[in-house]
Amino acid sequence: MKELIQTLVETNSPSGYENAVRQLIRQKIEPWVNEIKVDALGNLLGIRKNPNAPKIMLVAHMDEIGIMATHVDSKGFIRFIPLGGVYPHHCVGGRVRFLNGVAGVIGVEKLSNPQELPSLEKMFIDVGAVDAKSCPIKIGDVAAFERPFLDLGKRWVSKAMDDRIGVAVLIETLQSLHQSAFEIYAVFSVQEEVGVRGATTAAFGIAPDLGLAIDVTATGDTPKGNKMEVELGKGPAIKIRDAGMLADPRIIKWMIQTAEKASLPYQREILEFGGTDGRAVQLSRSGVPTGVLSIPCRYVHAPSEMVDRDDVLNAVRLLTELLNNPPNLEFSA
C-alpha cells in the first residue's frame, strides 16, 4: 500500500486541475470495478454493480491544495493566489511545482516588522527567470506544493495526504473486497478544497441511499496543538461532527458497532473547524444518511501532513467490514 500512497501523493493535482491524478486512479481501479465514468465536473466514478442492493456512495477527494499564478512582473517574479486553504506560515521558504513541470521557490518582500506573519500578497514565486519574457509561467498556471513522500516507519508524511490517503484507502478497499452488501459508487471527487463542489454533483447524479466520505481529520496530540481528543495511531476516527455537518447518528452507530464487532480500533471524532465531502452528500436531493470515516492526520494543509500506518491499514479493514454489514436506518427514539 505504501507504493500506492507514494505514487498518489507525488502526482500533482490541485483543485480544478485533477487530470493527472484522475488518470492514475482510473488505472488503479479499472480491474476492481464493473464500470467507470467521469461526470461533467470531472469526478471519477467506479461502480461495483449489485443491482438489488442499496446504493452507497463512498467519496474521497482527489484534489489537493495549491496555488494559481495571477501576475508576472517585468523581472519574472510571479504573484499568486491560493487554491483551497493555504496558510501563509507554511509557504515561506517553500517550493512549488507548476503543472508544466517548472519548479519555483516562494520568496517574501522585506517586512517592515519581521515579527509579523506576512500575507500571501507579500509573497511571490521565483522560477529562476531573468525577465518576464523568459518566464515559463503564465497567468492562470497552477502549481502544487513540492515535497517528496517521506517514510518515517510507523508514520508517513506528504504534502497531499489530504486526501490522497482517503483515495488510497478507497482503492485498497476496492481491491481487497470480494463481495458487498451494497451497490458501490466509489467517487474520487474534484474541488473539495474549494467548496465540496465535485461531491455535490456526484451525489445528485448517483442519488445514493447512504453516503460515506473518507477524508483526513486533525489531531490534538501535538505540543500545545488543537484541543481535541483524536490522536495519531489510536485507530481511524468516526466523525460525530465537524464545522460542516453533524454526521447521521444512525451511520455513527453503524460504524461504531461494526468496528467493535470486528475488534478494530476507532476514535470518536469532534472537529470544531473544517468540513468534508460528507456535507455535500448529506444535503443532496431528499437528504442522504451520511457519515465520515476519518484518517487522523497531523499538520493538515501544511506541506508535511503526517498519518499513522496502522490507522491507514485499519481504515481499510473497517471500510471493508462496513461494506459487508449494512446498517439499520430506522430512527430510534
- Determine the Cα–Cα distance for residues 70 and 51; give it in Å rounded to an integer: 48
The active-site residue out of 10, 64, 192, 305 is 192
d(CA 106, CA 121): 12
Number of residues that bind another protein (CB under 8 A): 28
Residue 286 touching another protein (CB under 8 A): yes
- Quick check: helix, strand or coil at residue 47? strand
Contact segment (CB under 8 A) with another protein among 31-39, 70-78, 245-253, 301-309 equals 245-253
**Site for another protein, residues 14 to 43, rule: CB under 8 A:** none
**Distance of closest approach, residue 208 Cβ to another protein, in angstroms:** 11
DSSP states along 307-332: EEHHHHHHHHHHHHHHHHSPPP----
Grid cell locating 307: 498519518
Beta-bridge partner residues of 276: none
Which grid coordinates are listed for 291? 457519515
For residue 223, what are the contacts with CB-CB under 8 A and spacing of at least 6? none
252 touches another protein by CB under 8 A: yes
Q: Which stretch binds another protein (CB under 8 A): 66-74, 86-94, 220-228, 300-308?
A: 220-228
CB atoms inside a 10 Å sphere around CB 74: 9
Tell me the C-alpha distance between 15 and 124, whole Å.
20
CB of 218 to another protein, least distance (A): 13
Cβ at position 198, least distance to another protein in Å = 19
Instruction: Identify whether 163 is preceded by a cis peptide bond (ω within 30 of 0).
Output: yes
User: Which residues have CB under 8 Å from 252's CB, separation 6+?
Assistant: 238, 239, 240, 291
Among 117, 249, 261, 328, binds another protein (CB under 8 A): 249
Binding mask 170-209 for another protein (x = CB under 8 A): ----------------------------------------
Candidate list 55, 95, 97, 241; residue touching another protein; CB under 8 A:
241
272 a catalytic residue: no
Query: Does 279 participate in binding another protein (rule CB under 8 A)?
Result: yes
Stretch that binds another protein, among 26-34, 71-79, 142-150, 239-247 (CB under 8 A): 239-247
- Asked if 115 is part of the footprint of another protein (rule: CB under 8 A), the reply reads no
E strands, the chain, are 35-38, 44-48, 55-61, 66-72, 78-83, 95-98, 103-108, 123-126, 142-145, 150-151, 155-158, 183-189, 210-217, 237-241, 267-270, 290-296, 305-308
Q: How far is the CB of 285 from another protein (least distance, A)?
A: 5
Q: Is residue 333 near another protein by the rule CB under 8 A?
A: yes
Cα first-last separation, the chain: 42
Applying CB under 8 A, among 75, 138, 270, 328 the residue interacting with another protein is 270
Stretch that binds another protein, among 102-110, 139-147, 195-203, 246-254 (CB under 8 A): 246-254
Catalytic residues: 192
Report the interface residues with another protein, using CB under 8 A: 220, 227-229, 240-241, 244-249, 252, 268-270, 272, 279, 282-283, 285-289, 331-333
